[in-house]
Amino acid sequence: MKRERIRNFCIIAHVDHGKSTLADRLLEFTGTVDPRTMRAQYLDTLELERERGITIKSVPVRMNYRAYDGTEYILNLIDTPGHVDFSYEVSRSLAACEGALLVVDAAQGVEAQTVANAYMAAEQGLELIPVVNKIDLPSAQPEEAKRELEEVIGVDAHEAILASAKEGKGIDEILERIVRDIPVPQGDPEAPLQALIFDSVYDNYRGVICYIRVVNGRLKAGQSIRFMATGRECQAEEIGVFKPGMTPVNELEAGEVGYLAASIKTIHEAQVGDTVTDGVRPAGEALPGYKKIKPVVFCGFYPVVNEDYPQLRDALEKLQLNDSAIQFEPETSSALGFGFRCGFLGLLHMDIARERLMREFNVELVATAPNVVYQIVRTDGEILEANRPSDFPDAGQIEEIREPYIRLTVFVPSEFVGKVMQLCQDKRGIFHSMDYITPERLRLSYILPLAEFIVDFHDKLKSTTRGYASLDYEHVGFRASELVKVDVLVNQEPVDAFSFICHKDAAYHMGQAVVRKLKELIPRQLFEVPIQAAIGKKVIVRQNVKPLRKDVLAKCYGGDITRKRKLLEKQKEGKKKMKQIGRVSIPQEAFLAYLNIGKEEED
Amino acid sequence: MDTLYIGGGTPTFLNPADWESLIEILENGLSFSRGVEVSVEANPDSLNADHMRLWRSWRVKRVSLGIQSFSTEILRWLGRPHDEKQAAEALNHCAENGFSSSGDLIFGIPGQDLRLWHNDLRILSGYVNHLSIYQLTAEPGTPLAGERVASQSEAYPLYRFAQWYLGSRGFLQYEVASFARNESWCRHNLSYWKQGNVLGLGPSAWGYLDGLRYRNVAPLMRYLRREGLPWEWTESLLQEDRAREAAILALRTRWGIRWKTFRRRFGEDISRELGKALSELPPDLFVKRNGRISLSGKGFRLGNSIWERLV
């Protein structure tokens, strides 16, 4: 295949701005997908993706297109995940392309996420083709959208394509412009092999399948190869292209996009961002940009029934095959028993994992409150990483606690700016900048602790702005904070599942809320049960669950005896479902309700 | 046979002639031990002089009256056909005829405050040496189903008061619901709590024989026509379940569990297990002396939570 006839591109768009529909139209227009097998959001393969209208896994597709000049071109569309949690995956997908369609909704204009991804694409040298979509909407303001493209993103919107993916308008123009404007892939087919893994999936029969972009050299079926980051060597068993199904070919050369299967057992051996090279004649260096992805949000997953622990482990292992960003390790909680501490790229990522475990693997689970990873500088100078409250050493051994911060960018209509600033302030945000995008819309930027962001920032932003704001963030590293670990004691025993980390000024308030909630949920026992919140040895809140005073119904003659016994058995059965902490039985709901305390406080 | 209890609510429903034939059947079919305790249940509205005369000339010693309350309003709410005057008359009659009488009272009725309850206890304890107090429950399928009756914690002050008040009037709480003066325990009821053998006669009656518990069929005609055993339901308890049940029943009474006897009856292992379960509970729920463990006044109030550890 002549490199001159290959175009590799992706689509950058905000959620809801019509990316999936546009992709569907391109597939139809180029005849890539038989109209009979066509379905909406063709490239979103997961049930969840369709439901939520988001893309989690990027699926590449190869289209043959005969341009107006009569030449047959190969267009590789590399879909990108659309959520900020997956920005590393986005960056790898972008690295596999030479250009991008920058899609903006004609009615809503540029959103925060679009800007972030457009910048990322521009930094990587991609050619951007602006597309103003949804011009069929009555509320469409294409000129306004074009102006925002120029002013906010800084692209030349002069030639922006006006399109309606829904009605099929502008599709031919988009295809022509891809051919005309997106650069021909560079690279030397004769140089040592360098292929970028921009995504991977797990297949039950063939093992891990890497999605690759050949940057230099050639990759042949049967060739011996090496993964440069992990050092693993093996044979390329099958290579192929996406037509859109996987179709084997004999060779992929510089500029082409395809897949590689090599009996790789786990996704860790072939990581996204790694470079595949020739096993015999390896390249001098790997392609730039590889980094090991580190989870930023952690939580515990516990089976509802202890016996389901092995089932949960199997499900997590299988899920991980398809999603290398998930990390997990066994942990035990005195309250919840055996479970796993799991790490995720963000809250959405966590939520999706939880939902997939329940839906696809039928595992009933309890998720503990999410937390970020903390850095703890000990008095002896050692730096620890703690991804759960119980990793914290004694207060006396802590010199300093650092927590991750993000730079948050919010696009918001000017009428809501005061509320959004208040929200950022409440979340311990530090003002960074503010500028007008248009007379009606502002760009606000804050430096904010990630921990505050993950709790419910997104939901609150949506509700305070009636959905008119959009946000994006990037990690800006760790900073020292005045954080404390608050322990919760039930009948003098600390319950690990209830411990939490928070800013010292919020400790009393949060402690109150937790203790009050637990007091409501813990049934009366035969003795008084104190519930306390404490920082180190210092108790900051205390409430008592008063003891039971009466629990007996008289009458018990003849036949009553059997009935009474059955009642007692039932009563006991009910208690068995509770978790036993010392001498106190705590119902499951307490562990779940606890997660919602932050949210309920607002109601 | 040591005790006989003629119950089922209203044996006074039978007329004197019926009673005479009942007595004849019982005398022919059963052998009474010397000092047998024969009790009869009666309702204040249907008890009359003929009954009294018959019973007095036979073996009846105890008459248990379904008093329920001395408040007209409460009696009406409960749907009882008698009023407080009839209740007092019935109690007087029993006393005049030399019966040892017992009365039942109900608490936890909507509108029943401590003052009304105190009044009930005061009047009844003036007449009898034995009384039982029952908390009202609105069982499904009964006329009271769905009624808002007192919860356990709402009924606490009433029950607690009864314990204190009856104690101050010389009554000993010898079981969760039973109080007696001068050792006038109901021996028949005690046999239930000692897991003793009981022969149940008549439709819907319950019986127990060495680990086998049964209930007779309820409709009268089916009971009469049934050939062979009239049981419509039975359960037979394994040794371990018998032990657990025995412990729970024993702890209903002030004599509690006598470990030596219990071990002999049920063995070392289960005795140790039950003993351990009880020892994990707060000590003020129990009275321990002379190798026995029984519930304290507080323990009686929290019975369910304690027995739950034993099932």
pLDDT tens for residues B154-182? 999 999 999 999 999 999 999 999 999 99
In a domain, A47, yes or no: yes
> B135: which chain A residues are within 8 Å (Cβ-Cβ)?
553-554
Query: What pLDDT is attached to residue B104?
Result: 94
Domain termination residue (choose one: A321, A344, A369): A369
Q: Do B305 and A558 touch (CB under 8 A)?
A: no
Do A471 and A492 lie in one domain? The reply is no
Query: What pLDDT is attached to residue B48?
Result: 86
Give residue for tokens 């304890």. Answer: B125
Query: CA-based Rg of chain B, rounded to a whole angstrom?
Result: 20
Q: What tens digit of pLDDT does each residue of A218-273 get?
A: 999 999 999 998 888 999 999 999 887 889 999 999 999 999 999 888 877 888 88
> A582: which chain B residues are within 8 Å (Cβ-Cβ)?
none
Query: What pLDDT is attached to residue A563?
Result: 86
Q: Where are the beta strands (DSSP E) in chain B?
A: 3-6, 37-42, 60-68, 100-107, 130-135, 172-175, 178-180, 206-209, 212-216, 231-236, 257-258, 286-289, 292-295
In a domain, A516, yes or no: yes
**Greater confidence, B27 or A318?**
B27
Average pLDDT, chain A: 87
Q: How many other β-carbons are positioned within 10 Å of the β-carbon of residue A449?
A: 20
Residue pair B303/B295 in contact (Cβ under 8 Å)? The answer is yes
Query: What pLDDT is attached to residue B15?
Result: 87
Residue A385: CATH number of its domain: 3.30.70.240
Q: How many other β-carbons are positioned within 10 Å of the β-carbon of residue A512?
A: 16
Cα A101 to its chain centre, rounded Å, is 23
The torsion defined by the Cα of A163, A166, A167 and A169, in degrees rounded to 10, comes to: 20
Query: What pLDDT is attached to residue A111?
Result: 87
Residue A350: CATH number of its domain: 3.30.70.870
In a domain, A292, yes or no: no
* Whether the predicted pLDDT of A585 surpasses 90: no
Average pLDDT, chain B: 93
Q: What tens digit of pLDDT does each residue of A73-113 get?
A: 999 999 877 666 777 878 888 999 999 999 999 998 888 88
What percent of chain B is modeled with pLDDT above 70? 100
Number of domains in chain A: 5
Q: State phi, psi for A154 to the nearest 5 degrees.
A: 85, 25
In a domain, A70, yes or no: yes
Query: What pLDDT is attached to residue A594?
Result: 61
Checking ipTM against 0.90, whether it exceeds it is no
Do A379 and A521 lie in one domain? The reply is no
Q: State phi, psi for B113 to the nearest 5 degrees.
A: -95, 180
Q: What tens digit of pLDDT does each residue of B189-248 get?
A: 999 999 999 999 999 999 999 999 999 999 999 999 988 899 999 999 999 999 999 999
Query: What pLDDT is attached to residue A329?
Result: 92
- Domain with A232 in it: 194-278
Q: What is the mean pLDDT of residues A350-376?
A: 86
Q: Do A526 and B252 touch (CB under 8 A)?
A: no
Query: What pLDDT is attached to residue B300?
Result: 95
pLDDT-based confidence at residue A43 (cuts at 50, 70, 90): low
In a domain, A290, yes or no: no
Do A233 and A251 lie in one domain? The reply is yes
**Greater confidence, A178 or A336?**
A178
* Three-state secondary structure call for residue B204: coil
What percent of chain A is modeled with pLDDT above 70? 93
Query: What pLDDT is attached to residue B143?
Result: 84
**Greater confidence, B275 or A55?**
B275
Q: Do B153 and A575 touch (CB under 8 A)?
A: no
Query: What pLDDT is attached to residue B303?
Result: 93
> B304: which chain A residues are within 8 Å (Cβ-Cβ)?
551-553, 567-568, 571
List, in sequence order, every residue forming a beta bridge with A278; answer none if it has no partner: A225
Q: Tell me which residue of B101, B102, B99, B106 sits closest to B133, measured CA to CA.
A: B106
List, in sequence order, every residue forming a beta bridge with A488; answer none if it has no partner: A533
CA atoms within 13 A on the CB side of A309: 13
In chain B, the residue whose alpha carbon lies closest to the alpha carbon of A548 is B302
Do A50 and A64 lie in one domain? The reply is yes
The torsion defined by the Cα of A320, A326, A327 and A329, in degrees rounded to 10, comes to: -60
Q: Where are the beta strands (DSSP E) in A244-336?
A: 246-249, 251-253, 257-261, 275-278, 297-303, 327-333
Chain B positions with Cβ closer than 8 Å to A: 132-135, 137, 152-153, 155-156, 159-160, 176-177, 189, 192-193, 198, 200, 205-208, 213, 215, 235, 245, 248-249, 252, 280-282, 285, 300-311
> A549: which chain B residues are within 8 Å (Cβ-Cβ)?
153, 156, 160, 301-302
Q: Tell me which residue of A279, A135, A268, A127 sits closest to A193, measured CA to CA.
A: A279
Q: Tell me which residue of A225, A315, A327, A215 sits closest to A270, measured CA to CA.
A: A225
Task: Name the residue facing B308 among A555, A559, A572 (closest C-beta).
Answer: A572
Q: What is the pTM of this model?
A: 0.67
* Whether the predicted pLDDT of B106 surpasses 90: yes
* Three-state secondary structure call for residue A502: strand
Query: What pLDDT is attached to residue A603?
Result: 38
pLDDT-based confidence at residue A602 (cuts at 50, 70, 90): very low
Do A450 and A521 lie in one domain? The reply is no
Residue A176: CATH number of its domain: 3.40.50.300
Query: What pLDDT is attached to residue A531?
Result: 95
CA dist A101 and A13 (Å) reads 8
Q: Lowest mean pLDDT: which of A100-104, A387-391, B76-80?
A: A387-391
Angle among Cα B22, B23, B28 to the nearest 5 degrees reads 100
Q: Do A552 and B134 touch (CB under 8 A)?
A: no
Q: Lowest mean pLDDT: which of A26-40, A292-306, A411-425?
A: A26-40
Choose from B215, B307, B309 for mutation: most chain A CBs within 10 A: B307
* Whether the predicted pLDDT of A189 surpasses 70: yes
In a domain, A426, yes or no: yes
Q: Tell me which residue of A145, A209, A175 sits closest to A68, measured CA to CA.
A: A175
Do A472 and A488 lie in one domain? The reply is no
Do A449 and A533 lie in one domain? The reply is no
Instruction: Output DSSP code: residue A150.
Output: I
> B153: which chain A residues are within 8 Å (Cβ-Cβ)?
549-550
Do A115 and A141 lie in one domain? The reply is yes
Helix (H) or strand (E) holding A181: helix A171-181
At a CB cut-off of 8 Å and minimum separation 6, what does B170 contact? B181, B182
Query: What pLDDT is attached to residue B263?
Result: 97
Query: Maximum Cα–Cα distance for chain A, whole Å?
Result: 99
Choose from B41, B152, B237, B310 for mutation: most chain A CBs within 10 A: B152
Domains and CATH numbers, chain B: 3-191 (3.20.20.70), 194-236 (no CATH), 244-310 (1.10.10)
Query: What pLDDT is attached to residue A601?
Result: 45
Cα A381 to its chain centre, rounded Å, is 33
Q: Tell me which residue of A13, A3, A72, A71 sits closest to A43, measured CA to CA.
A: A13
Q: How many helices (H) and strands (E) does chain B have?
A: 13, 13
Residue pair B76/B111 in contact (Cβ under 8 Å)? The answer is no
Do A312 and A448 lie in one domain? The reply is no
Domain termination residue (choose one: A312, A340, A369): A369
Residue pair A134/A105 in contact (Cβ under 8 Å)? The answer is yes
Give residue for tokens 């991750």. Answer: A404
Q: What tens digit of pLDDT does each residue of B28-63 get?
A: 999 999 999 999 999 998 888 898 999 999 999 999
In a domain, A143, yes or no: yes
CA dist B174 and A551 (Å) reads 18
pLDDT-based confidence at residue B266 (cuts at 50, 70, 90): very high
Domain termination residue (choose one: A152, A181, A210): A181
Query: What pLDDT is attached to residue B191?
Result: 94
Query: What pLDDT is attached to residue B267?
Result: 95
Residue A268: CATH number of its domain: 2.40.30.10
Give residue for tokens 């006669």. Answer: B201
In a domain, A285, yes or no: no
* Whether the predicted pLDDT of A559 surpasses 90: no
Residue A525: CATH number of its domain: 3.30.70.2570
Termini Cα distance of chain B: 31
Q: How many other β-carbons are positioned within 10 Å of the β-carbon of residue A66?
A: 12
CA dist A258 and A265 (Å) reads 20
Do A512 and A592 lie in one domain? The reply is yes
Task: Name the residue facing B302 among A550, A557, A565 (closest C-beta).
Answer: A550
Chain A positions with Cβ closer than 8 Å to B: 525-527, 548-559, 561-562, 564-565, 567-569, 571-572, 575, 583
Q: What is the mean pLDDT of residues A386-398?
A: 85
Helix (H) or strand (E) holding A379: none
Q: What tens digit of pLDDT does each residue of A287-336 get?
A: 887 777 788 889 889 887 788 899 999 999 888 877 778 899 999 887 77
Q: Lowest mean pLDDT: which of A14-18, A64-68, A179-183, B161-165?
A: A14-18
> A552: which chain B residues are within 8 Å (Cβ-Cβ)?
152, 159, 176, 300-304
Q: How many other β-carbons are positioned within 10 Å of the β-carbon of residue A46?
A: 18
CA distance A552 to chain B (A): 5
Query: What pLDDT is attached to residue B227?
Result: 85
- For the record, the structure tokens of A292 come out as 């090991």
Do A465 and A539 lie in one domain? The reply is no
Task: Name the residue facing A554 among B176, B206, B282 (closest C-beta).
Answer: B176
Q: Do B303 and A551 touch (CB under 8 A)?
A: yes
CA distance B120 to chain A (A): 18
CA dist B213 and B211 (Å) reads 6
Q: Say how many residues make up chain A.
A: 603
Do A553 and A473 lie in one domain? The reply is no
Query: What pLDDT is attached to residue A595?
Result: 58
Query: What pLDDT is attached to residue A599?
Result: 47
CA dist B106 and B150 (Å) reads 11
In chain A, the residue whose alpha carbon lies closest to the alpha carbon of B160 is A550
Q: Do A526 and B300 touch (CB under 8 A)?
A: no
Query: What pLDDT is attached to residue A600?
Result: 45
